Amino acid sequence: MKTFGRCHCGNISIEVAELPTEVTSCNCSLCRRYAGLWAYYAPGEVNIHYKDTEKSVYIWGDRDIEHHRCHHCGCVTHYITTEKCPVKRVAVNARMADPELLATLKVRQVDGASF
Ligand SMILES: [Zn+2]
């Protein structure tokens, strides 16, 4: 596993099997507010480490995605699909990565607002 990034206070840190080369910027009602840049993985390709066991999660709409944020510093670190979603996926937010990695990533625009 490779170090991907962490939240501002360091409570949540993220490792991935391979660093991404491309991330998604989505204009849906939630992603545009979070300003997330998402890199997608299968569940076994990501390790999420919490220093603190308390989790803070936001679920809305179809209830098929859990957005996770640090309950100390508020950074939105990743999302995980729930049992309601047929696709098992973890998306990590490249905003948590070091600027050096972030600068190398191609950003793909996704029109989530139209779905
Ligand atoms: Zn934090």
Ligand 1 centre from 71 Cα, in Å? 7
Could you give all domains of the chain from N- to C-terminal order, each with its CATH number? 2-109 (2.170.150.70)
Average pLDDT over residues 93-113: 94
Cα 92 to ligand 1 centroid, rounded to whole Å: 14
User: How far, in Å, is the centroid of ligand 1 from the Cα of 16?
Assistant: 18
Binned at pLDDT 50, 70 and 90, residue 99 comes out as very high
pLDDT over 90, % of the chain:
90
Kindly write down the DSSP assignment for every residue of 69-82, as one continuous string: E-TTT--EEEEEE-
What was the pLDDT predicted at 36? 95
Q: Which residue has the tokens 């076994």?
A: 44
Q: How many CB atoms lie within 10 A of CB 91?
A: 22
Nearest Cα to Cα of residue 40 among 7, 81, 6? 81
Q: What are the backbone dihedrals phi and psi of residue 3, each rounded to the nearest 5 degrees, phi first?
A: -65, 125
Q: Ligand 1 centre from 69 Cα, in Å?
A: 8
For residue 29, how far is its CA from the centre of ligand 1 (angstroms)?
23
Token pair for 78: 């990743």
Distance (angstroms) between ligand 1 centre and the Cα of 100 equals 20
User: Within 10 A of 105 (CB to CB), how many other CB atoms are there?
Assistant: 16
In the reported structure, the alpha carbon of residue 114 is separated from the centroid of ligand 1 by a whole-number distance in angstroms of 32
The overall pTM is greater than 0.85: yes
From the CA of 52, how far away is ligand 1's center (Å)?
Answer: 10
pLDDT in tens, 27-54: 999 999 999 999 999 999 999 999 998 8
Question: Hey, which residues does 47 pair with through a beta bridge?
Answer: 15
Q: Is the pLDDT of residue 78 over 80?
A: yes
